Amino acid sequence: EVQLLESGGGLVQPGGSLRLSCAASGFTFSSYAMSWVRQAPGKGLEWVSAMSISGGSTYYADSVKGRFTISRDNSKNTLWLQMNSLRAEDTAVYYCAKRSSGSYMSYFDYWGQGTLVTVSS
């Protein structure tokens, strides 16, 4: 059974940093591309970042480019999202999502439970 367990969310002041983790199990992590998606309170889904199976290719939404960094360790079955220079508008539930293959052209087939990030003074 595919499981994605996010952690690391919490309350942080504007301008602060936070590192989210996604622990994956139930599939061969190193064979699948991964992504982060967020959802602000009462709002829709917003794709944030994606990473290839090797980590050699990374992609970011314009809203987070230069501030967020996605990374992975295939030996630890873990995906991370380093979030710097946080703003109030980054407040959201952050979901880790598994992709259907290692291709950049793969759909999002499983979602984690999400972790809440609140940026406020």
Partner 1 sequence: DIQMTQSPSSLSASVGDRVTITCRASQGISNSLAWHQQKPGKVPKLLIYAASTLQSGVPSRFSGSGSGTDFTLTITSLQPEDVATYYCQKYNSAPYTFGQGTKLEIK
Q: Does 116 bind partner 1 (CB under 8 A)?
A: no
Q: Which is nearer to partner 1, 53 or 76 (CB)?
A: 53
Q: What x/- string results for residues 73 through 112 when contact with partner 1 is judged by CB under 8 A?
A: ----------------------x----x---xxxxxxxxx
CB of 91 to partner 1, least distance (A): 18
| Sheet architecture: strand order including 18-25 | 3-7, 18-25, 78-83, 68-73
Taking residues 23 to 62 in sequence order and writing x for each that binds partner 1 by CB under 8 A, - otherwise, the string is ------------x-x------xxxx--x--------x-xx
- The torsion defined by the Cα of 40, 2, 17 and 55, in degrees rounded to 10, comes to -120
Residue 85, C-beta contacts closer than 8 angstroms, at least 6 positions apart: 15, 17, 67
Strand-strand pairing, 34-39 and 78-83: unpaired
Footprint of partner 1 on this chain (CB under 8 A)?
Answer: 35, 37, 44-47, 50, 59, 61-62, 95, 100, 104-114
